[in-house]
Amino acid sequence: MADATHILKASPVIPVVTIDDPRRAVPVARALADGGVRIIELTLRTDSALDSLKLIAEEVPDILLGAGTVLTPGQADAAVAAGAQFLVSPGVTPALLGHMLTLDLPVLPGVATVGEIMALLEQGLQAMKFFPAGPAGGPDYVAAIGAPVPQVTFCPTGGISLASAPEYLKLANVSCVGGSWLTPRGAIENGNWQFITELAQQAAALAVAP
Ligand code: 3PG
């Protein structure tokens, strides 16, 4: 099942999490879950990201765990081996998409143009990350895309905050948004888990259009 439409319904916000020190991975995941957010997109942007992924997969099983910033087929394989339950990429290439579609798990590829959306529709995908949402056109752009391709559900990500999230979440073609604001690097470094839990509580309480 490659389509990730059901993944987008797990939470109003998918936290985009970057962790340098794997020892912080489990406490971050628990802090988010304590706040009611039980899904993570853990980016593969650090050398130790796969170690963090593995630790969360093993020790926080109630989290729906995705790997983000998947750029190559090899990274996709490594993320799955480490325990990723879904894969997110900022954009797609034929090689990456073709490989991800051979894996038996949901994939959430990134798009920013109608042509890219049409290419994913041709592959049977109807759930997509819209990235980078703010710079690419914001809520007005996402709403306008809904006219020609209303069957597509988006997770806009990039430049979104607690304040701007409702502008996206009220759109009929948006099920959730993504953002790194729930897990600020400083809070992770300082072990400020309570702060992350509070940010998660605020995010979990956001309303999504029916
Ligand atoms: C991503 O990869 O989805 C983005 O880096 C998240 O964007 P943000 O940091 O602006 O929330």
Establish whether residue 157 lines the binding site of ligand 1, counting it when its CB lies within 6 angstroms of any ligand atom: yes
Q: Is the pLDDT of residue 82 over 90?
A: yes
Establish whether residue 16 lines the binding site of ligand 1, counting it when its CB lies within 6 angstroms of any ligand atom: yes
What's the mean pLDDT in 21-26? Answer: 98
The predicted pLDDT at position 1 comes to: 66
Nearest CA owner, ligand 1 atom 6: 158
pLDDT in tens, 130-172: 999 999 999 999 999 999 999 999 999 999 999 999 999 999 9
The predicted pLDDT at position 59 comes to: 98
41 forms beta bridges with 16, 66
Nearest atom, ligand 1, residue 43 CA = 2
Is residue 54 part of the annotated active site? The answer reads no
The predicted pLDDT at position 210 comes to: 76
Mind listing the domains of the chain with CATH numbers? 7-203 (3.20.20.70)
CA–CA gap between residue 18 and residue 121 (Å, rounded): 29
43 forms beta bridges with 68
- What's the angle, vertex CA 28, arms to CA 19 and CA 54, rounded to 5? 65
- Using pLDDT thresholds of 50, 70 and 90, give the confidence band for residue 209: confident
